[in-house]
Amino acid sequence: MTSLLKISDICKQLSISRTTLYQLINRGDLKPIRVMGAVRFASADIDAYVEKLREQANETAGRAA
């Protein structure tokens, strides 16, 4: 089973503000899970998002070389 993370956990893990996190949600980059009104995120989804950012950075670095 995937662990669920709170908003504060995600902000800390990604070093972003709550406002930025909500922007990522509104853009569809991250999908929250509601558990009895509480907002949570699957750790696997956060890992996938970080990997996507890493791949984009590698692509950009490859084009600049």
Q: Is 15 helix (H, G, I), strand (E, B) or coil?
A: coil
For position 14, what pLDDT does the model report?
Answer: 96
Give the model's confidence band at 16: pLDDT under 50 very low, under 70 low, under 90 confident, else very high: very high
- For the chain, what are the domain ranges? 4-64
Q: Which distant-in-sequence residues (6+ apart) come within 8 Å of 34 by Cβ?
A: 40
User: Considering the domain 4-64, what is its CATH architecture?
Assistant: Orthogonal Bundle (1.10)
Q: What's 40's DSSP letter?
A: E
- How do residues 18-63 score in pLDDT, each as one tens digit? 999 999 999 999 999 999 999 999 999 999 999 999 999 998 877 7
Give the model's confidence band at 64: pLDDT under 50 very low, under 70 low, under 90 confident, else very high: low
For position 24, what pLDDT does the model report?
Answer: 97
Q: Is 31 helix (H, G, I), strand (E, B) or coil?
A: coil
